[in-house]
Chain A
Amino acid sequence: GAGVSQSPSNKVTEKGKDVELRCDPISGHTALYWYRQSLGQGLEFLIYFQGNSAPDKSGLPSDRFSAERTGGSVSTLTIQRTQQEDSAVYLCASSPGARDNQPQHFGDGTRLSIL
């Protein structure tokens, strides 16, 4: 597809379970970003990838959160031992590069609900 694709669109899981969220960026975009959008917190940065490397993981809330990117394309955000406060919409964005002032294009997000 032409845009950023995220899956699943919705995920409901029990507290304590692990979840994996997937992001397929726009073809050719080397920069990939994960953001989280929750009530009361707005939209906050989680992690940035340039190629397969993650130079900045400073936004990850805890060590239960991890992410990887393979082949300079698809990225997976994993949350282990989920907690109720992890409930949020997780958004992925990509851009052609990271150093140029270029707009980031967002996917539709994954709405995560922890019961």
Chain B
Amino acid sequence: SQELEQSPQSLIVQEGKNLTINCTSSKTLYGLYWYKQKYGEGLIFLMMLQKGGEEKSHEKITAKLDEKKQQSSLHITASQPSHAGIYLCGAPDFSGGYNKLIFGAGTRLAVHP
């Protein structure tokens, strides 16, 4: 079965610093989703990557999928307190013929003013 490993598990940065979160898959990815979760809330969809080498940006967040489609990174530039939360990577498991998602354990990000 496919597994997603995220690193680091937690991250504390000072406001204004850049940071990177990684997501590594045990198998080739057929798509990779990044979500953000705040305590007591659901998952907020950030970005979806499908093609090897693909890169997408939204505001100060950039996500990349490597050429081999087994690793993705999420980069935040000039972090702000509003970026704090848990970042989860998810990948579709098409073994059942449909888009069931498996998730990494998450990276907990704290941004200190």
- Given contacts A108-B42, A111-B40, whether A99 and B98 have CB atoms under 8 Å apart is yes
List A residues 53-105 near B (Cβ within 8 Å).
55-56, 58, 91, 93, 95, 98-105
B41 touches A108 (CB 8 A): yes
A45 vs B100: C-alpha distance in the bound complex, in angstroms? 7
B103 touches A43 (CB 8 A): yes
Binds A, one of B16-24, B43-51, B72-80: B43-51
B42 touches A102 (CB 8 A): no
A31 vs B98: C-alpha distance in the bound complex, in angstroms? 10
Contacts of B113 in A (CB 8 A): none
Min C-beta distance of A22 to chain B, whole Å: 14
A101 touches B42 (CB 8 A): no
- Given contacts A4-B42, A42-B106, A91-B43, whether A104 and B98 have CB atoms under 8 Å apart is no
A42 touches B33 (CB 8 A): no
Contacts of A104 in B (CB 8 A): 33, 45, 99, 101
Q: Can you list, as one digit per residue, whether each of B86-110 has a CB less than 8 Å from chain A (1) or not (0)?
A: 0010101000111111111110000
Give me 7 other A-B pairs in contact (C-beta within 8 A), A48-B100, A93-B43 excluded: A31-B98, A42-B105, A91-B43, A101-B92, A104-B101, A108-B42, A111-B40
B85 interfacial by beta-carbon distance below 8 Å: no
A50 touches B98 (CB 8 A): yes
Min C-beta distance of A69 to chain B, whole Å: 15
Min C-beta distance of B90 to chain A, whole Å: 8
A109 vs B50: C-alpha distance in the bound complex, in angstroms? 27
Contacts of B88 in A (CB 8 A): 43
* CB-CB nearest 8 A-B residue pairs: A98-B98, A106-B42, A106-B43, A43-B103, A108-B42, A101-B31, A103-B45, A42-B105
Contacts of A25 in B (CB 8 A): none
B99 touches A100 (CB 8 A): yes
- Given contacts A101-B30, A107-B42, whether A55 and B101 have CB atoms under 8 Å apart is no
A56 touches B42 (CB 8 A): no
Contacts of A101 in B (CB 8 A): 30-31, 48, 50, 92, 99
A102 vs B88: C-alpha distance in the bound complex, in angstroms? 17
